[in-house]
Amino acid sequence: MEEKYILTLDIGTTTIRSVIYNSRTEIVGKAVDQVVLHYPIPGYVEIDPDELWKSIVGVVDTALQNAKLSAAQITAMGISTQRSTFITWSRQTGKPFHRFITWKDLRADELVKEWNDSYTWRLIKVGSYVLYMLSRSKRFRAGSVLKFTNNQTTMRLNWVLHNIQEFKSAVQKNDAMFGTLDTWLLYKITGNKIHMSDVSSASATGFFDPFTMQWAGWAMSLFGIPMGALPTVVDTAGDHFTSTSPELWGSAIPIRSCIADQTASMWGSCCFNVGDIKLTMGTGTFFNINTGRSPHASASGLYPVVGWRLGDEIVFSAEGANNDTASIIKWAQNIGLFDNPQDTADIAMSVPDTDGVFFIPAFSGLGPPYNDFTAASGFVGMKPSTTKAHLVRAVLESLAFRTAQLYTCVLSETSYNFSTIRLDGGVSNNDFVVQLVADLTGLKVERPVQVEMSSLGCAHIVGFQLGIFKSKDELKSLRKIGTVFTPRPQVKKSYEKIVTRWEDAVKRMCGWYLGSKSSQSQNSVHDSSNSVTPQNSFKVTKLKRNSSAK
């Protein structure tokens, strides 16, 4: 039987990756390039569309060459992208009105604060709560606690509507098109044929209602978002994505899926059952729980998103996020705490503790349970005896502490019985962090052989759509687990007072930038370099653990 090849294209915050798999999900070719992030002024984090497009075309070319295959030999391709990063462009000319405004961008921070504190929004939330008490509808419960955040698209698009005159004029002429990165990529890669977004990417914008599965009418009215500029929302996989323009790689490649990166990761980790947990530790940390056919109504900040929709099958996910993970590691490297991220686990274990030093990882604020985007990052408790090793350990511990907090939110809001976390992302290669996550959550943590799950998830869903993989059970049988980290109850006990003191330190940093414009600019995610290298090669150290393979 002729071999089937699936090409995947994964565009993350810092990395573009193309991987070609055979029908046994073995890698036969791959290529990687960096996403160049631009910081024109503090708080602004942008991607140039022309630079990105050139890199995308080049990385697929290289992957095909690496696999010694032509585009005509590819059965189909799948795409996964970072969420909430968006661009607007002219319907007539295709010319962008601005660069991509990424999910890490803070230019709309003042709008976020103003709206969250406004009487209008408070009245809407009170009204939602009253309706919830009367109807017990999850939709109204979610509305009663909803807060705007910088990583949602809503306020950044509102900023564009108020500040980009070309876009405002285009809206009036019905010449404006909006798209998150997936929508723009589909538009470009098909030769301007389609203007679509799948449900998983649309639901992460902040103005798509997961309870009605439509663009939210209340957001259109409140913020003047032009419905005519929005893409059609479609299923996660299918032939509606058409195919690539043949001029790009020599032959048209059928596109059978376009999916948000966190959903792709869930497919890569085979989180198909209700209650399955996936933990991605990449640029940020994303804790996703499969909640089945029902969207989650959160009280502490877990966000209900659409996992995927395949015809009659619809799966929702509850998500808790901490926006700073690998970005914290990169920052610590830049200020000279260590030369190589691979060494950080050994450095952390070279000292028995942090010598009373705590780190708060909040360059982009703090997500659940704090939901405080005016919080500041910083070390607390330094003294003359503090060494670099203590600081490195404090940084790594803080990442595990925040992950454990997200898990506590999950426990408080769900009734599922959890036993295992399925891990992925570059920071998951750090044994110190992963073992501490296992210890503090009390859950077994499975790390796969290959930690980049988004690409594999694309291959899984495309192969499933085409019938290459006959069932989700077959996909589960293909999982390859590299290392299993077992929780150590005695370590959790020893950390109880440490975590309590760290939480006290966090509270001191909450609200730090509240009401201070000049201070707020210093809280921006700002890197002196134009490119951020993903942390995907931490040194694996010798901790007691179990190893297995499936």
Model pLDDT, residue 546: 43
pLDDT-derived band at 517, boundaries 50, 70, 90: very low
Model pLDDT, residue 189: 98
Model pLDDT, residue 250: 96
Using the predicted structure, report yes or no on whether residue 244 has a pLDDT greater than 80: yes
Model pLDDT, residue 476: 95
Are residues 167 and 88 in contact, defined by beta-carbon separation less than 8 angstroms? yes
Using the predicted structure, report yes or no on whether residue 494 has a pLDDT greater than 90: yes
Model pLDDT, residue 529: 34
pLDDT of 69-108, one tens digit each? 999 999 999 999 999 999 999 999 999 999 999 999 999 9
- Please, what CATH class does the domain formed by 322-451+482-518 belong to? alpha beta
Average pLDDT over residues 165-171: 96
Residue 101 three-state SS: strand
Average pLDDT over residues 260-289: 94
Model pLDDT, residue 299: 59
pLDDT of 18-35, one tens digit each? 999 999 999 999 999 999
CATH topology of domain 1-107+156-268: Nucleotidyltransferase; domain 5 (3.30.420)
Residues 114-146 as b/e (b if ≥16 CB within 10 A, e otherwise) read ebbeeeebeebbeebeebbeeeeebbbbbbbbb
pLDDT-derived band at 524, boundaries 50, 70, 90: very low
Average pLDDT over residues 400-427: 91
Using the predicted structure, report yes or no on whether residue 384 has a pLDDT greater than 80: yes
Q: How far is CA 186 from CA 21, 55, 92, 154, 422, in A?
A: 21, 15, 17, 21, 30
Average pLDDT over residues 260-288: 94
Q: In sequence order, what are the beta bridge partners of 7?
A: 20, 77
Model pLDDT, residue 535: 34
Residues 303-318 as b/e (b if ≥16 CB within 10 A, e otherwise) read bbbbbbbbeeebbbbb
Runs of H (alpha helix) within 76-118: 109-117
Are residues 10 and 23 in contact, defined by beta-carbon separation less than 8 angstroms? no
Model pLDDT, residue 371: 82
CB atoms within 10 A of CB 467: 8
> Which ranges in the chain are annotated with CATH 3.30.420.40?
1-107+156-268, 322-451+482-518
Tokens 């073992």, located at residue: 435
Model pLDDT, residue 193: 95
Model pLDDT, residue 300: 62
pTM of the predicted structure, to 2 decimals:
0.87
Model pLDDT, residue 382: 96
Using the predicted structure, report yes or no on whether residue 48 has a pLDDT greater than 90: yes
Model pLDDT, residue 297: 67
Instruction: State the chain's mean pLDDT as an integer.
Output: 90
Report the C-alpha gap between 247 and 253 in whole angstroms: 11
pLDDT-derived band at 520, boundaries 50, 70, 90: very low
Are residues 118 and 126 in contact, defined by beta-carbon separation less than 8 angstroms? no
